[in-house]
Amino acid sequence: MSYTTALHGGATDDILKSLHKQFTIDDQTLFKITTTFLSEISEGLSNYGRAMAMIPTFVKGVPDGSETGTFLALDLGGTNLRVCEVTLQGDQTFSLRQQKYKVSETLKTGEVTTLFDYLADSVDAFLTESSTPSKEPSSLIGSDPYAAVNQDTPYLPLALTFSFPVEQSALDSGVLLTWTKGFSAKNAVGKDVVKLLQDAFDRKHIHVKCVALVNDTVGALLSRAYTSGGCILGAIFGTGTNGAYVEEVSKITKLGDSAAAAAGGEMIVNTEWGAFNNSRSALPTTPYDNKVDRESINPRFQAFEKFISGMYLGEIARNVILSLIDAAPKPILFGGRSSDQLNKQWGLDTALLSEIEEAWEGLGQFSLAPGSVEVTEVEKLRRIQGVLAKRLELSPPDISLADADIVRQACTLIASRAARLSATAVAAILVHTGRARLWDQGEQSSAGLKDEGKRIGVGVDGSLVEFYPNFQTKLRASLRMLIGPEVESRVDIGMAKDGSGVGAALCALVAQRQSQAARTHGAYAYDHEETTIQVRTEVSYLSSLSS
Ligand code: BGC
């Protein structure tokens, strides 16, 4: 019997077994979820208005690393707002200068114009900073592309990375479908976000023009393609979760007989997989998930995201911990004591789960110097006791070694479920695009698959995939189970560092070429449909994936 097993007995043991049962998704269920994923993908490609929106982005190819230029990008994600200046060097490398700004709860939930005024002010502050003489020579003012633009147009072009579901009608316009990740700014849903931003710039006489709109997943895909030479899927596993992939336009049947459909070829589709299975017909839900959902600002929406992403894992863990503190007939944790931190909604950050797992695994700040003696389980649990006392403001004598072990097991269960579910999303895209087959009927051959024998590029970003101990290893293990070892071994999962900035820069480049072409052809005024056609023509510089 291991030391940790010996710590628990009777009622605790039963409760731990029950937690394991509730949070462990068996292989058969994982296959079923992937199959449901495949049908929701098809549904979304053929119909507008589906929860998993499968949004055509009007980005018609991926870069190959040879692109050049300096661009301004504004990135509104889940946690921060960033303004950056990105220089694409044309040799698969880039340099980036950025400034981060905090987005307060008041801004997230207030009037939308106040939020967009703040975005505009942040860009203004960044530009003012950039033009001070103390800044590096690469400052915006005087740098080549902006100077060129300034001679004949009185504005700086900027691309907006907006990490929320937006139904795009062109590269530079799209209406917000719904808020996610704790945002609920009023009077925004149904509005064109590019216009909201442009109006804010104009109100404040800031000479910046928003020329392109991009989701962070599209940014991840484009930036990974730029730095690695090829990528078919961009995915975010961070505060929220989502994926964008390269699709054949003929499969996006909801485009009907539009110009975009007639143009054919390939287009990046933003899946908005965070809203997969909102009906929860396939996702096995625990009472803890139900509570998180019920108390969220968008109950019954973003079901998949609520099982997976950094915004919610801490809150699920908090609910589990509280239920163990309150257990009857006897408390299971902390002698029945809680803390203000634990009692508060969102009081437990996913970063804490990560820290607990690092303490157990000896990773991050708990890594051992080479050659040191292995740490015993008791010492590992003592580290966890320390983390819990510090972060949850619990009194150290109230945290037993058994408590530390229970919390550790709960964190692992919650995060492992998230990693396994994440694999279903990746597997579904690979199967849908003809690059893999599901192994639910037993071993499958790879013969006849798209990209047979070739590397399959996947660009990822987000705090979970970057920092959470073993997240990627667990995701890969489930992916291997779902699609078999041969295809899985060819899947190159790589970080799309600064994807939101670099991806936005690449979209701004598309927009710039499009507007140059419009000027060359004397067509200054264009409506959205024409814009789309311009985009199609002008992105042909991007290498086609299939070539
Ligand atoms: C949003 C997506 C975004 C994802 C990752 C989700 O909540 O709906 O648009 O890509 O978070 O940031």
- Vertex 60, ends 57 and 62: CA angle to 5°? 110
The answer, yes or no, to whether any atom of ligand 1 lies below 6 A from the CB of 40, is no
The answer, yes or no, to whether any atom of ligand 1 lies below 6 A from the CB of 167, is no
Residue 535 predicted with pLDDT over 50 = no
Closest residue by CA, ligand 1 atom 8 = 164
At residue 154, what are phi and psi to the nearest 5 degrees?
Answer: -85, 35
Closest residue by CA, ligand 1 atom 2 = 164
Report the alpha-carbon distance of residue 198 to residue 101 in Å, rounded.
Answer: 19
At 531, list the tokens: 């814009």
Smallest CA-to-CA distance from 168 within 107, 212, 201, 112 is with 212
Residues 227-251 have a mean pLDDT of 96
Residues near 540 by beta carbon (within 8 Å), at least 6 away in sequence: 60, 61
From the CA of 186, how far away is ligand 1's center (Å)? 19
From the CA of 352, how far away is ligand 1's center (Å)? 22
| Closest ligand 1 atom to Cα of 162 | 9
Smallest CA-to-CA distance from 93 within 511, 502, 508 is with 502
The answer, yes or no, to whether any atom of ligand 1 lies below 6 A from the CB of 182, is no
From the CA of 221, how far away is ligand 1's center (Å)? 14
The answer, yes or no, to whether any atom of ligand 1 lies below 6 A from the CB of 174, is no
Residues 45-71 have a mean pLDDT of 93
From the CA of 52, how far away is ligand 1's center (Å)? 12
Q: How confident is the model at residue 154 (pLDDT cuts 50, 70, 90)?
A: low
Amino acid 61: pLDDT: 81
Amino acid 290: pLDDT: 97
Q: What is the pLDDT of residues 347-376, one digit of tens each?
A: 999 999 999 999 999 999 999 888 888 899
Residues 379-387 have a mean pLDDT of 97
- Vertex 40, ends 37 and 46: CA angle to 5°? 145
Among all chains, which residue has been given the structure tokens 């072409």? Answer: 517
Amino acid 147: pLDDT: 42
From the CA of 263, how far away is ligand 1's center (Å)? 28
Amino acid 77: pLDDT: 87
Q: How confident is the model at residue 3 (pLDDT cuts 50, 70, 90)?
A: low
Q: What is the pLDDT of residues 118-148, one digit of tens each?
A: 999 999 999 998 764 433 333 333 344 444 4
Residues 80-106 have a mean pLDDT of 94
Q: Any idea how long the chain is?
A: 547
Closest residue by CA, ligand 1 atom 3 = 163
Q: What is the pLDDT of residues 429-488, one digit of tens each?
A: 999 999 999 999 899 999 999 999 999 999 999 999 999 999 999 999 999 999 999 999
Amino acid 373: pLDDT: 84
From the CA of 60, how far away is ligand 1's center (Å)? 21
* Whole-prediction pTM: 0.90
Residue 379 predicted with pLDDT over 90 = yes
